[in-house]
Amino acid sequence: MYYWYYNDIDITKIEPDFGEMAGGTKVTLKGKEYMPFDFSSDIDNQNDTFCQWGTFTKNGDWYPVRKSAAQVLSSTIAECVSPENYLHLDYVWVNMTLNN
């Protein structure tokens, strides 16, 4: 059994960077390190890859509000669909995880 390490994902651009409160906007994340594994021979983490939509608490802790499945298209491009903004926040931070 192996344990795999990988570099942190780096999101540099989000398109579009706005959407409706009801969610449903397809969002493209551009950056790097989205495909750290060879899916054909290493591990298959495609079902564990998500966009995390959230905010930071007053003490600086990350508070994930919702998550949605992410589709990695290349090592630099991924897509996901924005969830409903049920907390009615003005904005949320977007992060991506490869290991749920």
The pLDDT score that the predictor gives to residue 40 is: 59
Q: What is the pTM of this model?
A: 0.82
What distance in Å separates the CA atoms of residue 52 and residue 69, rounded to the nearest whole number? 9
| CATH code of the region 10-97 | 2.60.40.10
Which among 22, 24, 17 has a CA at the least distance from the CA of 93?
Answer: 17
β partners of residue 63: 55
The pLDDT score that the predictor gives to residue 23 is: 94
Order of strands across the sheet with 93-97?
10-15, 26-32, 77-81, 62-72, 50-56, 93-97
Mean pLDDT by 10 residues, the chain (100 residues): 83 96 96 78 75 88 87 93 89 88
The pLDDT score that the predictor gives to residue 41 is: 63
- Residue whose tokens read 């966009």: 51
Q: Where are the domains of the chain?
A: 10-97
The pLDDT score that the predictor gives to residue 60 is: 85
The pLDDT score that the predictor gives to residue 5 is: 84
What distance in Å separates the CA atoms of residue 5 and residue 27, rounded to the nearest whole number? 27
